[in-house]
C-alpha cells in the first residue's frame, strides 16, 4: 500500500463517519451513566488499539518509504526501476483546451506531456540567465503540479523522473518517484551537473557536467574559443558556417545506474568537437542506448557520438541525420522534416515526400501515422500564437490538444516536454 493509496483510503473512511443527532443530550446524562460510558470507552479504546496493531505491518513500511534515501554514507540503495516496455494506452487522446498552462493531462498515442516549464530572465552577480519553473505530471490525478526543481527529466513509462535542485549546476541527482511524489535516492557527483537524460529503456541516465550555469544568456557566458576549423573540400558541411567561438562551460558526463543510485567515472569531453552555438549542450542517448550523442545545431551536420567511456565513436548503423525533434517514425520508415510551415514527411527508402502538414514543428511521433506538433491558431496570423496539435502524416485529421499560447516567445509562457508513456 503506497502512501497516496493509504491517504485516499483514510479519506474515504472519514466520509463514512456519522455524528449522532442526540450527542449533546448524551453528554448531559447522569454521572452514573457517564461512568458507564467511560468504561465502555475504555473497552472501545482497547479495541481500536488492537485494530491499529493489526494494521501496523500494512502501514509502517509505506510511510517510512516516503523519506528520501541518501547514498552518501548510507546503506546501498535499490531503486525498483524496470526496463521500459511500450504498452497500448488506456485512452488514445487526452487534451486540455481550456487551461493555459495546462492543468489536465495531455497525451496522444504513445507519448504524453510529461512536464512543462515556464521561464523568466533573472540577474545573478551581474549576469543574466534563464530561471525555469517546472510542472510535473501526476498520473493519479491526471494533472500537473508545480515543483521546486531546477531541472526535470521524466523516464519513458512516466514512473520515474530525474531531478536537479535550483541554482544549476549541482552536485547531486535526485531519483524522483512519480507515484509517491518523493525523492527515492540522491546520487552524488564530484563534477556539478546541469542536465540529465534517460536511456531509451529507462534504467540509466547520462548527466552532463558544467562549470557554470548552462542557462546563462549568451552575452553573459564566458567566451571560450576553439581552434580555427581545418581546411576542407568545397561543400563540406563542417565549414558551414565556420563557428570558432564556443560559449559553453560543459566539461563532460557521467553514466548513472539508477537501480543502485550510483554514478560511474567522470568522462571529460572536448567542447570543440561539434560546432554548436548554444550555451546548454546536454548529452543524450543514441536510439538504441549503446552510445552517447552530442547534437549539432548546424544544418545537415551529423551529431557526434561517444562510447560510454567518453571516447569518440562512429555513428551507429542506420543512423539518419534528423532535422526535427520527431526524427524517424517508430517503425523506421518515415522521417519528419525540418521546422517551418508547412512541414513535410519523407519516405526513408526513397526520399519521396509522402505528406505535408500545416504546422510549425513536428515534435514527436504518436504512432507510425500521426505526430504531435506545434500548430498555429486560426490562419496563423502569428507563428508564435501556437499550441500542441495531433496531425496525420497526410496533413489531415488535425486535433487540438492544448490552448494556443498568445506568444510563445514571451517570458512566463509554458514550454512542452513529451515522453513515451
The answer to the question of residue 216 being in a domain is: yes
Please, are residues 321 and 313 in contact by the beta-carbon 8 Å criterion? no
Sign of CA dihedral 277, 256, 144, 112: positive
Phi, psi of 60 (to 5 degrees): -60, -45
217 and 284 co-located in one domain: yes
292 and 250 co-located in one domain: yes
Domain span at 185: 69-84+155-319
The answer to the question of residue 47 being in a domain is: yes
Question: If you average pLDDT over residues 316-324, what whole number do you get?
Answer: 90
78 and 45 co-located in one domain: no
- Answer yes or no: is pLDDT of 218 > 50: yes
Half-sphere exposure of 335 (CA within 13 A, CB side): 16
The answer to the question of residue 105 being in a domain is: no
The SS3 of residue 238 is: helix
Q: Which of 278, 254, 276 is nearest to 204 (CA)?
A: 254
233 and 284 co-located in one domain: yes
The SS3 of residue 250 is: strand
The answer to the question of residue 100 being in a domain is: no
**If 0-12 CB within 10 Å is exposed, 13-18 middle and 19+ buried, where does residue 238 land?**
middle
Read off the pLDDT of residues 35-86 as tens digits, 9 standing for 90 and up: 434 434 444 434 433 443 444 333 333 333 444 444 444 566 789 999 999 9
306 and 238 co-located in one domain: yes
167 and 231 co-located in one domain: yes
HEC-encoded secondary structure of 262-277: EECCCEECCCCCCCCC
Cα distances from 243 to residues 173, 217, 238, 356, in angstroms, run 33, 18, 9, 33
Distance CA 17, CA 20 (A): 10
38 and 80 co-located in one domain: no
| Lowest pLDDT segment from 6-10, 363-367, 387-391 | 6-10
Distance CA 288, CA 332 (A): 13
7 and 80 co-located in one domain: no
Of residues 25 and 384, which shows the higher confidence score?
A: 384
The answer to the question of residue 342 being in a domain is: no
Read off the pLDDT of residues 241-273 as tens digits, 9 standing for 90 and up: 545 567 789 999 999 999 999 999 999 999 888
Read off the pLDDT of residues 145-180 as tens digits, 9 standing for 90 and up: 999 999 999 999 999 999 999 999 999 999 999 999
Q: Which of 133, 100, 137 is nearest to 117 (CA)?
A: 133
35 and 74 co-located in one domain: no
pLDDT of residue 272: 85
Q: What is the number of structural domains in the chain?
A: 2
How many other CB atoms sit within 10 Å of the CB of residue 288?
13
**If 0-12 CB within 10 Å is exposed, 13-18 middle and 19+ buried, where does residue 93 land?**
middle
pLDDT of residue 233: 52
pLDDT of residue 229: 60
Q: Which of 323, 314, 125 is nearest to 212 (CA)?
A: 125
Distance CA 278, CA 297 (A): 8
80 and 16 co-located in one domain: no
The answer to the question of residue 373 being in a domain is: no
% pLDDT > 90, the chain:
62
Please, are residues 272 and 227 in contact by the beta-carbon 8 Å criterion? yes
42 and 187 co-located in one domain: no
56 and 79 co-located in one domain: no
Cα distances from 210 to residues 207, 261, 421, in angstroms, run 10, 21, 30
- Answer yes or no: is pLDDT of 31 > 70: no
pLDDT of residue 396: 84
Element (H, E) at 143: strand 143-146
The answer to the question of residue 391 being in a domain is: no
Amino acid at each position: 500500500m503506497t502512501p497516496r493509496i493509504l491517504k485516499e483510503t483514510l479519506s474515504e473512511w472519514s466520509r463514512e463517519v456519522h455524528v449522532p443527532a442526540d450527542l449533546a443530550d448524551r453528554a448531559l446524562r447522569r454521572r452514573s451513566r457517564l461512568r458507564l460510558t467511560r468504561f465502555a470507552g475504555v473497552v472501545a479504546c482497547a479495541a481500536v488499539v488492537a485494530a491499529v496493531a493489526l494494521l501496523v505491518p500494512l502501514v509502517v513500511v509505506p510511510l517510512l518509504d516516503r523519506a528520501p534515501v541518501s547514498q552518501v554514507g548510507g546503506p546501498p540503495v535499490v531503486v525498483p526501476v524496470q526496463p521500459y516496455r511500450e504498452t497500448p494506452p488506456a485512452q488514445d487522446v487526452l487534451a486540455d483546451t481550456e487551461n493555459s498552462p495546462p492543468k489536465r493531462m495531455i497525451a496522444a498515442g504513445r507519448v504524453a506531456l510529461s512536464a512543462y516549464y515556464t521561464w523568466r530572465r533573472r540577474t545573478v552577480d551581474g549576469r543574466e540567465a534563464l530561471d525555469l519553473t517546472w510542472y510535473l505530471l501526476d498520473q493519479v490525478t491526471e494533472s500537473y503540479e508545480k515543483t521546486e526543481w531546477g531541472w526535470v527529466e521524466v523516464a519513458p513509462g512516466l514512473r520515474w523522473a530525474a531531478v536537479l535542485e535550483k541554482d544549476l549546476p549541482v552536485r547531486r541527482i535526485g531519483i524522483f518517484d512519480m507515484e509517491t511524489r518523493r525523492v527515492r535516492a540522491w546520487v552524488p557527483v564530484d563534477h556539478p551537473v546541469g542536465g540529465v537524460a534517460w536511456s531509451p529503456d529507462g534504467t540509466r541516465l547520462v548527466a552532463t557536467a558544467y562549470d557554470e550555469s548552462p542557462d546563462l544568456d549568451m552575452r553573459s557566458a564566458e567566451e571560450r574559443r576553439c581552434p580555427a576549423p581545418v581546411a576542407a573540400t568545397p561543400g563540406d558541411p563542417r565549414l558551414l558556417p565556420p563557428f570558432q567561438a564556443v560559449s559553453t562551460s560543459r566539461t563532460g558526463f557521467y553514466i548513472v545506474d539508477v537501480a543502485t543510485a550510483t554514478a560511474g567515472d567522470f568522462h571529460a569531453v572536448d567542447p570543440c568537437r561539434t560546432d554548436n552555438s548554444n550555451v546548454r549542450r546536454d548529452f543524450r542517448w543514441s536510439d538504441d542506448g549503446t552510445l552517447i550523442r552530442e547534437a549539432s545545431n548546424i544544418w545537415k551536420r551529423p551529431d557526434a557520438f561517444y562510447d560510454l567511456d567518453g571516447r569518440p565513436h562512429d555513428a551507429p548503423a542506420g543512423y539518419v541525420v534528423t532535422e526535427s525533434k520527431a526524427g524517424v517514425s517508430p517503425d523506421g520508415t518515415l522521417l519528419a522534416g525540418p521546422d517551418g510551415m508547412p512541414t513535410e514527411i519523407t519516405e526513408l527508402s526513397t526520399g519521396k515526400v509522402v505528406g505535408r502538414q500545416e504546422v510549425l514543428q513536428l515534435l514527436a511521433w504518436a504512432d507510425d501515422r500521426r505526430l504531435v506538433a506545434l500548430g498555429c491558431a486560426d490562419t496563423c496570423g502569428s507563428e508564435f500564437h501556437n499550441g500542441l496539435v495531433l496531425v496525420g502524416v497526410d496533413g489531415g485529421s488535425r486535433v487540438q490538444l492544448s490552448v494556443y499560447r498568445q506568444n510563445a516567445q514571451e517570458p512566463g509562457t509554458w514550454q512542452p516536454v513529451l515522453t513515451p508513456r
